A and B are shown apart, each in its own frame.
Chain A
Amino acid sequence: MSTESGFVTSATELRAYAPAADLSIASPSSRDSGAQARPRTSPQHLRTEPGPVRFVIIGLAVTFLTVFVVLPLVVVFAQAFSKGVGAYFSALAEPEALSAIWLTLLVAAISVTLNLVFGVMAAWAISKFDFRGKTFLITLIDLPFSVSPVISGLVFVLLFGAQGFLGPWLQAHDIHVLFAVPGIALATIFVTFPFVARALIPLMQEQGTQEEEAAISLGASGLQTFFRVTLPNIKWGLLYGVLLCNARAMGEFGAVSVVSGHIRGETNTMPLLVEILYNEYQFVSSFAIASLLAMLALITLVVKTVLERRLDEGQVPYDH
């Protein structure tokens, strides 16, 4: 029974991929030497559209992606190098640029570390335990994804700003949160919180609790179980979450823009510096910084693709 359907499935796949093998219409008669009349509609065409329709659809898709996605990316590099390689590197070597790069790395390091620890904990709590308010917790974790980045920044201004709830107290104790590194880090943590947890929850739910229970029944302690059983099982998912979390942390603009105060050389991250330089018509400098961020995005995408392949392999159920 199961082997029978397995055979049918593989035959089905063969059929599904046959028509798509090339752009041109695979004429069935070309494969048959027979002189008899061949069908107008062959099964090669059963699951696809006539050649011209295919051509138009592919053309539209490729054109759209090229104009709206590829071109903006190309523009970044073209502008960055428009005055030559020398201008590009001297733009990056400006103290302002260096301090922005440093701040970006620092903020990303802080927020990725914290979100890694708490993301794993949140995912672990949600996927391995049942408790009241679990749905609420999931909604809470998802929330930063659906809130405008500007609002994400705003809430911290309301908390820590001069007119904010904690503002007077902070001022009295001379603690700087807003327009300083802590504020930028907080806003970034808020915005990037969901990535790690979101990457892990489905993975951990799928794996269930059996392996952990087995480990505990064999005498492992809670921490041993986590580091020797749970963690190896989720490492690729974890890496995936960290990767996306890092990309967003380094690239976040809206939320950070609201809390940073744009103090040059002090509270400007790379995206903020891109804005400032652009508004000052320093296009080469602006796009030079932008090109670094664009490279970060491209590297992230490549690694993400590799990780997704790993994750797909890891998800092959072994009990089927």
Chain B
Amino acid sequence: MGLTLTWLSVIILIPLAALFLKTFELSFDQFWGIVTSRRTLNALKISFGLSFAAALVNLVMGTIIVWALVRYRFPGRRLFDAIVDIPFALPTAVAGVALTQLFAQKGWLGAPLAELGIKVAFTPVGIFIAMVFIGIPFVVRTVQPVLIDLDPEIEEAAASLGANRWHTVFRVILPGLVPALLTGFALAFARAVGEYGSVIFIAGNLPNVSEIAPLLIVIRLSEFRYADATAIAVIMLLASFLIIFAVNRLQRWAQNRTPVH
């Protein structure tokens, strides 16, 4: 017990405390100066903005994938179900180089896209693609069990009340999935915001254009500007705390709406 707490403190608490202590070495003006500098603001904007957009895509595509996996039977269904976990399991650096190679101008997908005049690799679009890749399992794995457990009587009730399939899906089933969908969205968003490995290869890393916040932290560190790195890290950490908090609230909300049998 005591040992557990000690270990946790050494491994997690003290390092995190170091982060905040370092921040307090800065005056507020210094902190504010770093955080509101053009390059930092742009990096944060790129990270949060693209993460949000990617999480939205994940929300929509994740729902479609869950629906197909749970409700339909088709050849290779089990295989595709397993495939969903690959972004979880594949080391981020591997995902990063693979996506870059795929979407580079001479890549399998990059070449046809280039013909259409769409450039993906080394642009913000590339960042977005990598974030979509990394986030998809979060939505699928959060929503899937909820859809599986959905009581078939609910759909039968809707039908017996005269609802057509469209009404049943959009007024009864999907609203019932909302807590799980939002949780999956928040998890995918949080992951994308902090993502480093799978993004930096494809990003191009042009300051103010395609430079994500985690990369800016790494750059500041390599320049030995620890204070700058720390300030950006604190902002990102606070954002992820907010997201965790939101997810917990969502889960409590979902539990309250579950009928007690």
Contacts and interface: CB of A to CB of B under 8 A. Distances in A.
A142 B16 CA distance: 13
B41 interface: no
A95 to B, nearest CB: 20
Contact of A46 (B91, B156, B244): B156
Given A65-B84, A137-B8, 13 more contacts: A49-B165, A57-B64, A64-B61, A67-B109, A76-B98, A122-B4, A149-B196, A151-B214, A155-B19, A253-B196, A254-B92, A278-B201, A290-B97
A272 B94 CA distance: 10
Contacts of A179: none
Interface in B96-111: 96-102, 107-109
B236 A156 contact: no
Interface residues of A, number: 91
Interface in A225-248: 247
B229 interface: yes
User: Which 4 pairs from chain A and chain B are nearest by CB?
Assistant: A251-B91, A148-B194, A155-B15, A253-B197
Contacts of A61: 61, 64-65, 67-69, 80
A69 B196 contact: no
Contact of B240 (A50, A148, A250): A148
A70 interface: yes
Nearest to A286: B97
B190 interface: yes
B259 to A, nearest CB: 16
B73 A274 contact: no
Contacts of B19: 151, 154-155, 158
B27 to A, nearest CB: 18
A68 B136 contact: yes
B52 interface: no
A283 B106 CA distance: 14
B15 A20 contact: no
Nearest to B47: A148
Contacts of A75: 98, 101-102, 107-108
B116 interface: no
A301 B13 contact: no
B82 interface: yes
Given A61-B69, A71-B102, A121-B3, A149 B197 contact: yes
